[in-house]
Amino acid sequence: MPHRIIYMGTPEFACPALQALSERIDLDVALVVTQPDRPAGRGRRLQSPPVKQLGESLGLPVYQPQSLRTAALRQPLLDIQPDLIVVAAYGLILGKSVLELPAHGCVNLHASILPRYRGASPISAAILNGDQETGVTLMRMERGLDTGPMFNVARTEISGDDTTASLTARLAATAGDLLDLHIDGLLNGSREAIAQPSGATLTRPLVKADGWIEWTCPVVEVERLVRAMWPWPRAWTTLADGSAFQIHIASVDESRDEAVPGMVLNDRSGLRVRCGDGWLRVHTGQVAGGKPLTGAQFAGNRRLPTGRLVGGVVRPPVPGPMIRLVGEG
């Protein structure tokens, strides 16, 4: 009789692992649990999460509770009596009643090399911090946030042009392969988990203000911010009229010209902005109400003339540091 699996996930990151489970004839993905449909886009139309779309395309039953706080909301999971629950970026913390439900427990696919970057934004954090590598950790879940013991880690290099979008796609595929490699051991009990080492860091969910560019920072840090904030909330600054200017793609420019941080240099060679110790070349950007333009297309733009300063406001508040050591207040 096939092992009964409940799969819990929401974004694109969680799709390859679900696909891998669905292709196993010795497994029964008895229920897919994902977040409710949410308004999205300019029209604010309801949009199904990627895991729901994939689950339905595979002919799997899909359940979208607002929460799992009550016995009634948890009942569809209890009815399955699963052998294993697999979680990948589901978006809700699971309580004791769910964690203790499966015969072989709950496991999680987390997009970092634990204990580094527990929490909500591990991929963006790795890029922002200038890490050379990251990975996916297969771990046993417990009541703490990403604190459980680890079964295995699959590592991957972070390239110099990786964005959160490109790295997420690679790690998603890695997560699917990692789960497929170890699912048998998880179900027969042969895979042993080891405790996480010390030195844990915790990341919080991103907010729009995280994309704010502080032009006094070194240019390498600003360039990493641009990549870490793509596709959301995107790196941004303000123009003289207070409107937002997003920077989608950028690189470190080798120019040695001196200028104050935030000064624009806009000529036939393209668009550059001065940082604390060098220039950021803007390859693609977007002013409020406009469409994305290349740096060359911004040449002569009246809202970004040479000599104009951008970002002349105080940084919007954020809910504490994006990355902190566990144990800090």
pLDDT number for residue 86: 98
Reported pTM: 0.95
DSSP string, 92-140: S---HHHHTSSTT-EEEEESSSTTTTEES-HHHHHHHTT-SEEEEEEEE
CA distance 137 to 164: 17
Q: Is 28 helix (H, G, I), strand (E, B) or coil?
A: strand
> What pLDDT score does 329 carry?
42
Q: How far is CA 309 from the centre of its chain?
A: 31
| pLDDT tens sequence for the chain (329 residues) | 899 999 999 999 999 999 999 999 999 999 999 999 998 877 788 999 999 999 999 999 999 999 999 999 999 999 999 999 999 999 999 999 999 999 999 999 999 999 999 999 999 999 999 999 999 999 999 999 999 999 999 999 999 999 999 999 999 999 999 999 999 999 999 999 999 999 999 999 999 999 999 999 999 999 999 999 999 999 999 999 999 999 999 999 998 889 999 999 998 889 999 999 999 999 999 999 899 999 999 988 889 999 999 998 888 999 999 999 986 54
Contact between 225 and 128 (Cβ < 8 Å): yes
Token pair 């080891």: residue: 194
- Closest to 107 measured CA to CA, from 32, 183, 209, 51: 183
Residue span(s) of the chain under CATH 3.10.25.10 come to 208-298
Query: Residue 43's pLDDT is what?
Result: 78
Q: Tell me where in the chain the CATH 3.40.50.170 domain(s) lie.
A: 3-203
- Within a 10 A sphere around the Cβ of 205, how many other Cβ atoms? 11
Please tell me the predicted confidence (pLDDT) of residue 300.
Answer: 80
CATH 3.10.25.10 fits 208-298, yes or no: yes
Q: Which fold has domain 3-203?
A: Rossmann fold (3.40.50)
Q: Give the per-residue pLDDT at 44.
A: 83
- Give the span between the Cα atoms of 107 and 109, in whole angstroms: 7
Distance between alpha carbon 186 and the CA centroid of its chain, in Å?
26
